[in-house]
Structure 1
Amino acid sequence: MSDDNDFNKLIASSLNMGRRTFLKSSAAGAAALTAGGGLLKTDKAEAQTYEPYPTDNQMETVVTSCAHNCGSRHMLVAHKKNDVIVRLSSDDGRYQRDGCYGKDTDEEPQLRACLRGRAYRERIYCPERLLYPMLRVGKRGEGKFKRVSWDEALDFVAKKLIDIKEKYGSQAILDQSYAGSSYGVLHKSDQIDGLQGRFLGMFACRTSSWSVPSYQATTTSSKWTFGTIEDGNEDDTFAHSKLMIMWGWNPAYTFHGGNTVYYMRKAKQNGCKFVVIDPLYTDTAATYDAWWIPIKPNTDAAMLAGMAHYIFDNNLQDQAFIDKFVQGMDAGTMPDWATDSPNGKENFKDYILGKNDGQPKTPEWAEKICGVKAADIKKLADMYATTKPAALKACWGPGRTDYGEQYNRMAAALQAMTGNIGMLGGSAEGVGKAWHAEGAAYPYDQYSNIWFSSIKSDRWAYIVNNYPNVAREEAGLWPRQDNLDGVVPNIRGIFWQGSNWLNQLTNINAEMDAIQKLDLVVCLDQTITTSGLFADVLLPICTHFERHDVALPWYKGHYYIHRPKVIEPLGESKTDFQVFTELAYRVGNMTGMGDKFGEVYNTKATRDYWNNPDPVDEDYLRTWWEDRVMQHQHVEMPWVEFKKHGVYKMKLDRPHVGFQDQIEKGIPFQTPSGKIEILCDELARISDWKKTKYGYHIPSIPKWIEPFESLNHPTKTKKHPYHLITPHPRHRTHSIFNNSAILRETYDQEITINTSDAKKLGITTGDKVEVWNDRGRLVVPAYVTQRCMPGVVSIPEGAWIDLDKNGIDRAGNPNMLTADTPSPAGSFAYNTILVNLRKTDLQHRAGWDETSVSRSHVFGRDI
């Protein structure tokens, strides 16, 4: 009997069940066993507790895709019964032309979705799904709304828009659209050619944002250095690399091309050596048996400068490449005009060797800043300079810092000085966009991307909280050629389309203060996000499974995926295009323009588009395919055949290598000089920084600049001794999928702490930890490991905030702690955060029942 009791206790403990619950279930189980004659009874069951799961031959199969900006955008196959998606699978080779089950080649690889895409069904049918128009009835952020009709909601928005524009002018509405949950060639949310920007621009009341949270430092660097952000290779080129330096890149979590891992595995098989520079020993480092070099956050430019010094000092640079293709690398590549420029006299080599400032940027100098041993800096520099081809993949994370563009510019300088640009197996990647897809199915015309002010995205709350006492350099204003140049916008309303920006921009507490000062906040989304809780109006947008579109590869890949309407829109949800078209008609009629506004906004539709969008969407997409894809890219597959197959995979004549034609054929780079600009023409010629969008001085060549806070600050680290980084999680795309119970049960929102730091603080894995600085506080569980360097802690970005009565975030969103301090080139300081931490009894809310499921994923960690 005692053995039975011990066994019962063991089972109860392993299942995390309460004693009373377990006794009830075990008693019922014992009764069932007794009635059935014991465990060996094998009679066939005659009943099931749920309806049998439909088999594939009972369901319709529809090819579609993922929809988010996760680093790729790949195939999903919906298996549906009537109008319900029962399950999702992915590419198995059979869907493209000449495809068959299992087809998977280097030229036409399978476009397999990751765990996020495969979990999408839960997002379609999630409890947070926004199904009806709603108006706020409580305080902003309180989450109290009432259901209203579309007529009531749209009339309310149209009238408020007109009132705000009349009172405050053409800059009063802030457009915060992004590529989060509404992105395709037709139903598109982004800052440049998105549907919301088109509507607000035509309405003549729009403040836009010019800085992209994910990679603005990298974008700025690539445009300065190469003249374009299309500086990348397609992933199949990685298979030809002999050395792969992954700087701040963890493709096990963020792909940057969905077949990245496939080609990197081929590179490994071909003998490629891998190096990972990161404060964390990532899953990528483990997978490829990489040489891990832990580095202090925000010091990457210093380490790169130390590598450059070693290369110059040992004459390992590719001088022939430099002389032919590079401006400003050394005295011999300086332009004639530079001698007369106050900002353009210094060349990169002189800076590295310390000829002007008396400080050579030696590996020993760099070691004191970045914490990497000088011997390791020299070893890596030698490997990179003497190995051809070698790929230095300078990823975005280290650029999401104060002066993050200097890291990317420094990396580009090393890519150029070693001659690894334009070479198969090499890399010029900063932004890394490669093959060019035809992006929009509606016209990009004189009505596209109209704005009357454009600010740095992370400065909006500062502008609202401090208006009118805001200088143009503090706002990061893009210059204009009219009387609005330098005018700081008086922002009175926000439109959120496909974006959860209150949750995802820096310094959430400042944003929550600013949002209370506005006259109108409109949220167009598919789920009720944390941003939505602060809105006045919630407009339900259908998912990409509920409308017709075509998917583009988001970052890399050369293919198009058809997105038919798989199911009818849930609830009363509509497409973004329907909503803005109808708003255009209403605003037009309220302002005396009649139907003209709506007719110009949606050129192929009448007002009946609200009730019957399918024929118009088909017309836009077919025209786009025939006039742009077939004509410009010489695709021979007709539109009808493309719809039948569901995917078109381009066969390239050769592997796509960024700037190969510039190097092999002498085509000029898209810079003012026609060369790779290590000395930047634009920056060297600026005389008044306050009249630029940057606002503050930026050196004309790459340089190491101390960030506003780091582990090297002796005073600041006394109060906040740990440096927090905020990498992307594997189980979310930023904040998308945060409400997926399946994915949340798989990966915890937690703080990663080095073993030695945890021991000093008395923290073990699973303990709740309070993390704070002067900007905010949060509570999150601990994961103690040796895979994080001492002094550094890590919390993944994207958790939906969940505030207690004291304003402490119980969900663990690190943007409670980030700063909206301006960085001149527009980089977001997501990884420039000093914090303190301690074990706590404060509540953490994981968002799912941690006691009801297996915790087996915790076991086996190095705790």
Structure 2
Amino acid sequence: MKFLTNPAKLAKIFTQTRRDFLKSTAATATLGLVGGGIAGKEVKAFAYEPYPLDDDLETVVTSCAHNCGSRHMLVAHKKGDVIVRLSTDDGTHQGDDAYGTDTEEKPQLRACLRGRSYRSRLYSPERLLYPMKRVGKRGEGKFKRVSWDEALTDIAKSMVHLKETYGPTAILDQSYAGASYGVLHKSDQIEGLLGRFLGMFGCRTNSWSVPSYQGNTFASRMSYGTIQDGNEDDAFMHSKLIIMWGWNPAYTFHGGNTFYYMRKAKQRGCKFVVIDPQYTDSASAYDAWWIPIRPNTDAAMMAGMAHYIFANNLQDQEFIDKFVQGMDEGTMPDWAKGQENFKDYIMGVSDGVEKTPDWAADICGVSAEDIIKLADMYATTKPAALKASWSPGRNAYGEQYARMANALQAMTGNVGVLGGCAEGVGKGWHAEGVAYPYDQFANVWFAAIKSDRWAHCVINYPNVKREEIGIWPRGDNTDGQIPNIRGIFWQGSDWFNQLTNINKEIEAIDKLNSYGEGESLLVCMDSTITPTGIWADYLLPIATHFERHDVALPWYKGHYYIHRPKVINPMGESKSDFQVFTELAYRLGFGPGYNPKANRDYFNNPDAVDEAYLIDWWGKVQHHQGVEWTWDEFKKRGVYKFVFDEPQVAFKEQIEQGKPFQTASGKIEIFSGQLAQITDWTKTSYGYYIPAIPKWIEPWESLNHPLTKKFPFHMISPHPRWRTHSIFNNIPWLRETFSQEVTINASDAAKLDIRMGDIVEIYNDRGKVIVPVYVTERCMPGVVVLHEGAWMDLDKDGVDRSGNPDFLTKDDPSPAGAFAYNTVLCNIKKTTLNHRPGWDKLATARSHVFRRDL
């Protein structure tokens, strides 16, 4: 073989245009000189002909649509009405920016591997293209294709029957921001299209607790009076210490450019600490000090840190005296003098138990020396960011962990300062989030219960106490009435697959079945045939964000808007959520009120109406946020990135200008006046007692519990990198890269005679799942890690072969509404049962069920 070494010849070759190069390659192939081709036959370089080149494609700026932690830019390259490939932000889409512009003020909004794989979801075999009606048993997966008219007529009649027969609480709203999230087409528990639709219809039971972060939401509202407690992520660049408590931003962003800014912080000398039962990719990326901790014991470790800080007088007393209520005796309100304050609890004055680092070490498995070292680092390093992430809040009494974090943040004076951190929830810059009518019907409900207690309510109705399901007070004569749930709308959510204790949900469906045909209704609205859809009576095909006009919002962090045009026409008979609810509203008698810009033709021709709503919304953006671009300029560019004079820091005005916090006292409430004055907990949404100050409360399952004799492992179920909850589970590209498997420490595996790749059964009294094993030292002994979101795949014995951890989780919620996804004891053993990864490796195993004639 001869190699070219002449520089002139090499330069000539590499300066050929791409088109010339492809022409020359094709000519060579025609002569049979490539790949052993036969003379006279042209060998093609691609599997499909013709393969369009970039010059042949139309380029359209759009975005992702899911609650993955970012919502970044996607650039669709399409040929006619087909998206050929997807790219992302290259820095050219705002103003006069040059190719590659990527600055701290305007970073590129680069999509992750999930967004870049979206073509595979858009054109998936599981894509739902037509209205479908159940013809088999619920959960059997047998449906037939019906017309939109038949499906919506049946659904409307059933809704009227349920409302008239069982009252205004008969239909449960289980919308969520999974598959439909924009300023116009929005599935959301609070601002969503379904809530407004059911509210105007006059029949809605609301699901009030948010699975991801309800414990942190409660803590932020009690401590700060708001969930707008987050800095924008560029503030991380100014931190000298970042404590990532239960946070793995390599997998779960809390803002689109989190990793970018934290890398900048690392380059500027910031130190990183990770507190987590497993050594994460984030710990590796930042060369962080890893502190492994027993799951559910975070509040105890924080209490030990607080003790060291108080005992050594390292607290910022000036900050406490000025801005904090209830940190110590001197900051208690006059009306609460003599009640327990935080310092007295920590130092053992009020209960005789000092929460020393040694005390904490026995509970959380972290040495007292490490607790002291971390406490000293945090108290003496200024500014320091304790990022109290959501995962430790998804535990029994997870709200106490989040409130304890608020206490540490306040006692060290790291609230409202650049480089510090107050977040819990983490909401930063406030976007104009709603383009459709948002009026008195926006969030009307006739009962509201904790989201994960619907099954308990259905199974035990009418013998249910209000505190068991977290009924939100109404303040009228219907207050406390137990909802008689007979119908469920799943919109933009795969909640049947994602809520705790799936076997209990199946039991609830069996209860609905027992009422007889026509006495219950299950509707699933999605673009994909999801595991939840398997249990529905009707499957309604919803257009993806590529097939409708909208604007994308950032997800909690980030300050930008991304235009989302209709890139392609809706596939099959897909419609948007807004179209479906508008048409149902007309059939139920309130169409003009629900969609005032539309007429009855909106179901078939939505484009002009959608644009009219978006133009009005852009007017609010211009007025409220000072944007000078016209709507046409925004559409042309595709993205508007706000540039601020300085990083956005939560509570900066309170600290620097004396503006009161949004609490009753106007201060950071470590002692909550609201909680301290509750006398009848059963008549609150919490249901059960919550202490007025943050405390360590023993969870109902942990490695410190006697139940470990039967179930010796604590299972946690963090978010995977390759899914957004259950979304993208059926993407072959991603499943080739990542597998659903249980992670176990090498010493535990040795004791069980388990090796890498063995198939095991993970089980407890609530269920069983089958999954392969990944053996590593990156997980602490006694803990197993099974990522959430795998699509359930039940065998005839009710065993989940896909490895969905929510067959093992418990549906008992914390009083404040936190979901106890990570409060799970279990056991492991080898099995001869086969694992079925997803639905199958090609993601087509069940799609045939929905394609045959029935």
1:828 to 2:819 alignment? yes
**Structure-to-structure mapping, 1:49-60, within 5 angstroms:** 49-60=47-58
Alpha-carbon offset, residue 851 of structure 1: 11
Q: Contact between 1:175 and 1:196, CA under 8 Å: does it hold in 2?
A: yes
TM-score scaled by length of structure 1: 0.92
Q: Deviations over 1:360-408 (max 9, x none)?
A: 0000000000000000000000000000000000000000000000000
1:46 to 35, 42, 60: 42
Cα distance between partner residues in 1 of 2:39 and 2:281:
47
Alpha-carbon offset, residue 847 of structure 1: 3.7
2:772 to 759, 781, 786: 781
Cα distance between partner residues in 2 of 1:759 and 1:431:
39
Cα distance between partner residues in 2 of 1:420 and 1:275:
16
1:377 to 2:371 alignment? yes
Q: Deviations over 1:633-653 (max 9, x none)?
A: 111111110000000001112
Map of 1:322 onto structure 2 = 320
Cα distance between partner residues in 1 of 2:769 and 2:436:
44
Query: Residue type matched to 1:760 in 2?
Result: K
1:611 to 601, 604, 608: 604
Q: Deviations over 1:711-730 (max 9, x none)?
A: 0012x001100000000000
Cα distance between partner residues in 2 of 1:68 and 1:536:
25
**Structure-to-structure mapping, 1:688-727, within 5 angstroms:** 688-714=680-706, 716-727=707-718
Query: Residue type matched to 1:683 in 2?
Result: L
Q: Contact between 1:741 and 1:848, CA under 8 Å: does it hold in 2?
A: no
Map of 1:115 onto structure 2 = 113
Aligned residue for 1:218, secondary structure, equals: helix
Q: Deviations over 1:830-859 (max 9, x none)?
A: 00000001111111011476699xxxxxxx
1:682 to 2:647 alignment? no
Map of 1:413 onto structure 2 = 407
Q: Contact between 2:70 and 2:557, CA under 8 Å: does it hold in 1?
A: yes
**Structure-to-structure mapping, 1:150-189, within 5 angstroms:** 150-189=148-187
Cα distance between partner residues in 2 of 1:101 and 1:734:
34
Q: Contact between 2:209 and 2:451, CA under 8 Å: does it hold in 1?
A: yes
Cα distance between partner residues in 1 of 2:588 and 2:704:
55
Map of 1:808 onto structure 2 = 799
Query: Residue type matched to 1:717 in 2?
Result: T
**Structure-to-structure mapping, 1:220-369, within 5 angstroms:** 220-339=218-337, 345-369=339-363
Q: Deviations over 1:653-684 (max 9, x none)?
A: 21001111110011100001000000011101
Cα distance between partner residues in 2 of 1:235 and 1:326:
25
Aligned residue for 1:174, secondary structure, equals: strand
Aligned residue for 1:159, secondary structure, equals: helix
Cα distance between partner residues in 2 of 1:785 and 1:494:
42
Map of 1:593 onto structure 2 = none
**Structure-to-structure mapping, 1:396-435, within 5 angstroms:** 396-435=390-429
Aligned residue for 1:165, secondary structure, equals: helix
1:731 to 2:731 alignment? no
Map of 2:782 onto structure 1 = 791
Q: Contact between 1:780 and 1:811, CA under 8 Å: does it hold in 2?
A: yes
Q: What is the RMSD of the two structures over their aligned residues, measured on CA atoms?
A: 1.5
Aligned residue for 1:616, secondary structure, equals: helix
Q: Deviations over 1:236-285 (max 9, x none)?
A: 11111100000000000011111111111111110000000000000000
Q: Contact between 2:256 and 2:555, CA under 8 Å: does it hold in 1?
A: no
Q: Deviations over 1:277-321 (max 9, x none)?
A: 000000000111000000000000000000000000000000000
Q: Deviations over 1:330-373 (max 9, x none)?
A: 01100011138xxxx11000000000110000000000000000
Cα distance between partner residues in 2 of 1:848 and 1:713:
36
Map of 2:593 onto structure 1 = 600
Structure 1 417/38 Cα, relative in aligned 2: closer, same or farther at 3 Å?
Answer: closer
Aligned residue for 1:517, secondary structure, equals: helix
Aligned residue for 2:779, secondary structure, equals: coil
Map of 1:632 onto structure 2 = 624
Query: Residue type matched to 2:139 in 1?
Result: G
The 10-residue stretch of structure 1 (104-113 or 92-101) with the greater mean CA deviation from structure 2 = 92-101
Map of 2:850 onto structure 1 = none
Aligned residue for 2:511, secondary structure, equals: coil
The sequence identity of aligned pairs, in percent, is: 73
Query: Residue type matched to 1:452 in 2?
Result: F
Alpha-carbon offset, residue 39 of structure 1: 8.6
Map of 2:5 onto structure 1 = none
Cα distance between partner residues in 2 of 1:354 and 1:109:
49
Map of 2:549 onto structure 1 = 548
Query: Residue type matched to 2:614 in 1?
Result: L
Q: Contact between 2:133 and 2:146, CA under 8 Å: does it hold in 1?
A: yes
Query: Residue type matched to 1:819 in 2?
Result: K
Aligned residue for 2:557, secondary structure, equals: coil
Map of 1:3 onto structure 2 = none
Aligned residue for 1:782, secondary structure, equals: strand
Alpha-carbon offset, residue 210 of structure 1: 1.1
Map of 2:24 onto structure 1 = none
Query: Residue type matched to 1:724 in 2?
Result: M
Cα distance between partner residues in 2 of 1:650 and 1:92:
17
Structure 1 138/323 Cα, relative in aligned 2: closer, same or farther at 3 Å?
Answer: same
Cα distance between partner residues in 2 of 1:513 and 1:618:
44
Q: Contact between 2:791 and 2:802, CA under 8 Å: does it hold in 1?
A: yes
Structure 1 849/797 Cα, relative in aligned 2: closer, same or farther at 3 Å?
Answer: closer
Map of 2:497 onto structure 1 = 503
**Structure-to-structure mapping, 1:394-543, within 5 angstroms:** 394-518=388-512, 519-543=520-544
Query: Residue type matched to 1:739 in 2?
Result: N
TM-score scaled by length of structure 2: 0.93
Alpha-carbon offset, residue 53 of structure 1: 2.4
Map of 1:760 onto structure 2 = 751
Cα distance between partner residues in 1 of 2:64 and 2:166:
40
Q: Which consecutive unaligned segments of at least 5 residues does structure 1 have?
A: 1-34, 589-596, 853-863
Map of 1:11 onto structure 2 = none
Q: Deviations over 1:721-752 (max 9, x none)?
A: 00000000000000000010110111000000
Q: Deviations over 1:32-77 (max 9, x none)?
A: xxx9999999989723253142111100000000000001111000
Cα distance between partner residues in 2 of 1:796 and 1:71:
17
2:657 to 665, 670, 678: 665
Map of 1:67 onto structure 2 = 65
Q: Contact between 2:437 and 2:595, CA under 8 Å: does it hold in 1?
A: no
Alpha-carbon offset, residue 822 of structure 1: 2.6
Query: Residue type matched to 1:607 in 2?
Result: R
Q: Deviations over 1:582-620 (max 9, x none)?
A: 0000111xxxxxxxx100000110011011100000000
Query: Residue type matched to 1:408 in 2?
Result: A
Aligned residue for 2:133, secondary structure, equals: strand
Alpha-carbon offset, residue 171 of structure 1: 0.5
Alpha-carbon offset, residue 764 of structure 1: 0.8
Q: Which consecutive unaligned segments of at least 5 residues does structure 2 have?
A: 1-30, 513-519, 844-854
Map of 2:835 onto structure 1 = 844
Cα distance between partner residues in 1 of 2:504 and 2:644:
48
Q: Contact between 1:744 and 1:848, CA under 8 Å: does it hold in 2?
A: no
Map of 2:581 onto structure 1 = 580
Q: Contact between 1:745 and 1:848, CA under 8 Å: does it hold in 2?
A: no
Query: Residue type matched to 1:328 in 2?
Result: G
Cα distance between partner residues in 1 of 2:99 and 2:53:
18
Alpha-carbon offset, residue 517 of structure 1: 2.7
Cα distance between partner residues in 1 of 2:35 and 2:527:
49
Aligned residue for 1:222, secondary structure, equals: helix
Map of 2:742 onto structure 1 = 751
Cα distance between partner residues in 2 of 1:607 and 1:408:
48
